Structure 1
Amino acid sequence: MTDKISFRDVVKTYPVKNGTFTALGGVTLGIGEREFVTVVGPSGCGKSTLLNMAAGLGEPTSGEVTVDGRPVTGPGPDRGVIFQQYALFPWLTVRRNVEFGLRLTDADAGERRARAERAIELVGLSDFADALPKTLSGGMKQRCAIARAYAVDPEVLLMDEPFGALDALTRVQLQEQLLDTWSRQTRTVLFITHDVEEAVYLARRVVVMAARPGRVHEVIDVDLPYPRTEEMRLSPEFAALRNRVWHAVYHQGAPATRA
């Protein structure tokens, strides 16, 4: 499988009072074309730092981050980024929020509206296209944020704990909706989470990171077919994989959610 995203011996340090703090200590990882990869590990292991460098929101101190073999030098429309905070404009409707990112493209007003409508339909918000964010639930706000990322048609989705602030039921519903959308418009996904069950349920591979400094501890293949289902979540095979990932995280001293 050809790597869509590649981290090669990536080191990230920050200056502190008495020297430097090493957030990432030589991470090498490849993520294949159209692959769904989750990253889990203890707080401070550099998960978000890794994602931010793929997004072009930070630079490695040494090493290289590439997308399609080209060094990442900044943000770009080929990469959609979704954070835990919804970052919606409160004075704009769902439709206008989704259209906003398209203003940076060559699309005219008619095409922007059409692409926004398709993305809104894809996440199941067509009935709320004219609603303001304050009238939406947390899950609906996150779906709006996901639709905004989809609208610019990125080849890569970078998701940093996008469901972390949601209640358990909404979280499961959005996991299923995300996989349904991914199965229809397969993109490369790098998904950061603290939740072990979420990591296993979504991914083809789970990357377990260790901290001090941040590094790849283990990469675990999830040999379960898509589509993932509620029955699969309750299966012995799923439980075995979840326990394996949990064991790998636990022995890094992680405050992860077993779920």
Structure 2
Amino acid sequence: MPSIEFREVSRDFGTKAGGFLALENVSLTIEDGEFVTVVGPSGCGKSTMLNIAAGLLEATGGSVTVDGEEVRGPSPERGVIFQQYALFPWMTVTENVEFGLKVAGVDRTERRTTARRMIDMVGLGDFADALPKTLSGGMKQRCAIARAYAVDPKVLLMDEPFGALDALTRIGMQDSLLETWSRDRRTVMFITHDVDEAVYLAGRVVVMAARPGRIHRIIPVDLPYPRTEEMRLSAEFASLRRQVWNAVYHQPSMLEGTSS
């Protein structure tokens, strides 16, 4: 059974000026344990797809299922990580990571043990008692990832989580995420606008088309895990990057109106 399945999903946003079709008949299957990235031009509905899968937004047509159960609202089985870290500034790293467990009624000893394990997993063991204001951007995002993992979700839904980071930190976070993912092969749907990031992380890259949002092309990434720096510099990576780049930026709809 696939972990995430979009079935003819559409989303229409009504406005005073008329309707805006953000997604049209999107069908996509993400298998259990698969790491899929979604990339596309601005306004192609990437985040709308993720928000529907997270249960934060309703589809106006079609359905999304996770492990065969239709998504009808938010659930701890779907861990969501956004570009903005959304950490509680008055809570320590440990308290932030514990938060979901506390809401779920997990007793103090168990949630503290789980939180410490997740914090160590993302390399923040020395900062367990630190407040968010003392952390770098990359460290805050590691904390957010640890918090998502703490409630043991079936899938991770990540919406441009590294978009606000500098280039060097971003590369480090990509490697850290893949190292964490390799331990349990949790199903991941990862939204990004960065072609290199899309190729480096994924087993498959889903390229979206805009106006309205729909799947334009799905490109398999035939590179083995673990991914390495040498892979980033390889001819195979360059070829895949070129395929994705062309699929994103040379769509017929994007070329309309240009001189011939």
Question: Please, what TM-score do these two structures have when normalized by structure 1?
Answer: 0.96
Counterparts of residues 65-80 of structure 1 (less than 5 Å): 65-80=64-79
d(CA) in 2 for partners of 1:113, 1:161: 29
d(CA) in 2 for partners of 1:4, 1:235: 31
Aligned residue identity for 1:150: Y
d(CA) in 1 for partners of 2:132, 2:245: 36
d(CA) in 2 for partners of 1:160, 1:153: 19
- Residue 213 (structure 2) aligns with: 214
d(CA) in 2 for partners of 1:84, 1:9: 27
TM-superposed deviation, 1:103: 1.3
Give ranges in structure 2 of 5+ residues lacking alignment.
Answer: 256-260
- Residue 144 (structure 1) aligns with: 143
d(CA) in 2 for partners of 1:251, 1:71: 35
1:195-214 alpha-carbon deviations (Å, 9 max, x no partner): 00000000000000000000
Give the secondary structure class of the aligned counterpart of 2:11: strand
TM-superposed deviation, 1:77: 1.1
Instruction: Give the CA RMSD over aligned residues.
Output: 1.0
The range that moved more, 104-113 or 215-224, is 104-113
d(CA) in 2 for partners of 1:80, 1:54: 11
d(CA) in 1 for partners of 2:184, 2:130: 26
Query: Does 2:218 correspond to 1:223?
Result: no
Aligned residue identity for 2:96: N
d(CA) in 1 for partners of 2:151, 2:86: 16
d(CA) in 2 for partners of 1:100, 1:16: 36
Give the secondary structure class of the aligned counterpart of 1:231: helix
1:141-163 alpha-carbon deviations (Å, 9 max, x no partner): 00000000011111100000000
Identity %: 72
d(CA) in 2 for partners of 1:157, 1:64: 18
d(CA) in 2 for partners of 1:42, 1:91: 37
- Residue 37 (structure 2) aligns with: 38
Give the secondary structure class of the aligned counterpart of 1:86: coil
TM-superposed deviation, 1:105: 2.0
TM-superposed deviation, 1:112: 0.4
- Residue 84 (structure 2) aligns with: 85
- Residue 239 (structure 1) aligns with: 238
1:150-202 alpha-carbon deviations (Å, 9 max, x no partner): 11111100000000000000000000000000001210000000000000000
- Residue 62 (structure 2) aligns with: 63
TM-superposed deviation, 1:17: 2.2
TM-superposed deviation, 1:19: 2.2
Query: Does 2:18 correspond to 1:19?
Result: yes
Aligned residue identity for 2:143: C
Give the secondary structure class of the aligned counterpart of 2:139: helix
- Residue 3 (structure 1) aligns with: 2
Counterparts of residues 49-198 of structure 1 (less than 5 Å): 49-198=48-197
Give ranges in structure 1 of 5+ residues lacking alignment.
Answer: 255-259
Give the secondary structure class of the aligned counterpart of 2:4: strand
Matched residues, number? 253
Give the secondary structure class of the aligned counterpart of 1:3: coil
Aligned residue identity for 1:142: Q
Question: Please, what TM-score do these two structures have when normalized by structure 2?
Answer: 0.96
Aligned residue identity for 1:112: R
Ranges of 4+ aligned residues in structure 1 off by more than 2 Å: none
